[in-house]
Amino acid sequence: MPDLQRLRPDHAAALLMFEQENREYFAASIPDRGDAYFTEFAARHAALLAEQDAGLCHFHLLVDAGGAVLGRINLVDVADGAAELGYRIARAAAGRGLATAGVARVCELAAGDYGLTSLRAVTTLDNTGSRAVLARSGFTPTAEIVLDGRPGLTYVRDLTPCRTGA
């Protein structure tokens, strides 16, 4: 399993390479980030780190032994004990269970280290891989939506521990 690392300044080059190499692959299932994302990447990376330092978001990378980024798993819009989960895995690393394992680890961090009590997620109906990851990770569909002009679902996962006993 690759190492799950919290986003740092020194990840910039590897993260940009990950996004560039997988741009077309990601655009097949989610909206493209646009050219400005890549031309202004350094400023964007700095802004993400500032958001993370402020506790507004928690960004994570799945990194292999050579330092290459294989995936991203992020918690954004942190407020009132909740956040929205988002993730993407490189084409070359897809289908190996990395998304499911990474999401499970980030859910543990969300509940433990970040003190969150619930997570939200969204995906389109045609993104069967993402829907499977969410189902395996304990997320429950809550509503039908339209996401970027396509039918989709919202999901939620309660992170509070089950209470037993009298």
Alpha helices in 29-164 (DSSP H): 35-39, 41-53, 98-111, 128-136
Query: Which tens digits make up the pLDDT trace of 53-68?
Result: 999 999 999 999 999 9
φ, ψ of residue 155 to 5 degrees: the values are -135, 160
The residues spanned by each domain of the chain are 3-158
Q: Are 17 and 23 within 8 A, CB to CB?
A: no
Query: Which tens digits make up the pLDDT trace of 124-145?
Result: 999 999 999 999 999 999 999 9
Among 75, 119, 71, CA closest to 95: 71
pLDDT band at 162 (very low <50, low <70, confident <90, very high): low
**Domain 3-158 listed as CATH 3.40.630.30:** yes
The SS3 assignment for 73 reads strand
Query: Which tens digits make up the pLDDT trace of 72-90?
Result: 999 999 999 999 999 999 9
Give the model's pLDDT for residue 161.
77
Give the model's pLDDT for residue 41.
97
Among 102, 161, 148, CA closest to 122: 148
